[in-house]
């Protein structure tokens, strides 16, 4: 019995290590891609031309070697699904006092055994793979650095919200920014339970802007 458990442990550890190696390799590949929007054949846009944006499939992102955080997150989640890894997307949104959406960031969480990995290839400053013991630790870390960045850019009172979503439930081919946000925030055409809204907080009164 002991020997059987030992062999099982060794096998599971080897399988987990192989998955981690695959994830590291995929992260390194995607980190060579740029942030932006391909909007016409053979013509690549930059950040300011976001009005031309439509979502990219995995094949399109590989072709153009460019995408935004929504595209990279969808890519990672589809890739993880193909490699039998647990995964989900996190969508963070900042709202003005009047309720207008002013900024977002989206990132994938990929699980290998009990460890949670933030795979980032869109946010230039934080490109890489980060390991956390719990989902709460991971989301709190990313949310803290992102929300402080947002607060530093605006003088208005800001509300934040965080959604968890399953990428495979999205209708993702050739959708624009409005459609993507509707699917995440207003549950338009996809089925995700109410626990997807992880938190909504007003940080302006509780955090030091400095």
pLDDT averaged over the chain? 79
Pairing of strands 159-165, 197-202: antiparallel
DSSP 17-75: HHHHHHHHHHHHHHTTSEES-EEETTEE--GGGGGG-----HHHHHHHTEE-HHHHHHH
pLDDT at 4: 44
- Pairwise CA distance, residues 91 & 204, whole Å: 20
pLDDT at 187: 54
- Pairwise CA distance, residues 95 & 153, whole Å: 13
User: Around Cβ 80, how many Cβ atoms within 10 Å?
Assistant: 25
Can you tell me which residue has the tokens 């207008």? 100
Band of residue 13 on the pLDDT scale cut at 50, 70, 90: low
Query: Residue 162 pairs with which residues in a beta bridge?
Result: 92, 199
pLDDT at 46: 52
Closest CA to 164 of 140, 195, 131: 195
pLDDT above 90 (res 37): no
pLDDT at 169: 78
pLDDT at 16: 86
> Which of 7-11, 35-39, 72-76, 88-92 has the lowest average pLDDT?
7-11
pLDDT above 50 (res 127): yes
- Pairwise CA distance, residues 71 & 54, whole Å: 10
Instruction: Report the pLDDT averaged over residues 30-42.
Output: 80
Q: Averaging pLDDT over each range in 25-34, 130-139, 189-198, which range is the top one?
A: 25-34
Tokens linked to 64: 């153009």
pLDDT at 117: 97
Contact status, residue 61 vs residue 67, Cβ threshold 8 Å:
yes
């Amino acid at each position: 019995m002991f020997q059987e458990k030992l062999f099982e442990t060794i096998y599971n550890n080897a399988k987990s290590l192989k998955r981690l190696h695959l994830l590291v390799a995929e992260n390194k590949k995607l980190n060579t891609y740029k942030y932006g929007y391909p909007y016409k054949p053979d013509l690549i846009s930059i950040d300011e031309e976001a009005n031309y944006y439509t979502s990219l499939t995995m094949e399109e992102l590989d072709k153009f070697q460019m995408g935004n955080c929504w595209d990279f997150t969808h890519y990672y989640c589809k890739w993880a699904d193909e490699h039998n890894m647990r995964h989900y997307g996190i969508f963070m949104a900042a709202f003005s006092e009047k309720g207008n959406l002013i900024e977002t960031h989206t990132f994938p969480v990929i699980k290998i055994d009990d460890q949670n990995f933030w795979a980032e290839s869109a946010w230039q400053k934080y490109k890489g793979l980060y390991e956390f013991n719990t989902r709460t630790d991971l989301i709190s870390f990313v949310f803290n650095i992102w929300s402080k960045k947002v607060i530093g850019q605006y003088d208005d009172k800001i509300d934040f919200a965080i959604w968890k979503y399953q990428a495979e439930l999205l209708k993702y081919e050739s959708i624009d920014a409005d459609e993507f946000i509707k699917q995440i925030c207003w549950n338009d055409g996809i089925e995700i339970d109410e626990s997807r809204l992880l938190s909504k907080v007003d940080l302006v009164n509780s955090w030091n802007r400095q």
